[in-house]
Amino acid sequence: MSITQGKDGFTLNIRLMDNINDEEGKFKMSFSGGRLGIVEDIKSVKGLGEQGYTPLTPVTEATLYECNVSVARYPENDLRITGKIGIRIDPMMETVRIVNSEFKGPGNIELVAQKVGKDKIDFVVYSISR
């Protein structure tokens, strides 16, 4: 998720990264962020850079956003991971912080929300080897 300043506030952008498959789009994410909006079918991307971000509703006030997240393998619609993330956004201070996150899914994959740089957070699907 990155923050960019516009005349109507800051626009958050979310992205799903896939660290398991070589092919893009093998996972899809649904994101429900209350006043940030609801986005369905965000396809996973590979690699770093600025590709694959989806814009949400602009933010004008500092607050904590409690968001629901669901990720599943596509098109099989299995390997489902669900959970919540709390994101504190302060547009005036230009800060974004992950306050808490809890994701549950099958034992062989994991979803992690990670802050990248000052103003970016990516959701990343990892394989867990046991």
Q: In what order do the strands lie in the sheet with 78-90?
A: 38-43, 27-32, 63-73, 78-90, 95-104
Give the pLDDT means over successive 10-residue stretches in the chain (130 positions). 59 90 92 92 86 86 94 93 95 88 93 81 86
**pLDDT on residue 128:** 84
**pLDDT on residue 55:** 84
Distance CA 105, CA 95 (A): 30
Q: pTM to 2 decimals?
A: 0.88
**pLDDT on residue 53:** 87
Distance CA 87, CA 65 (A): 5
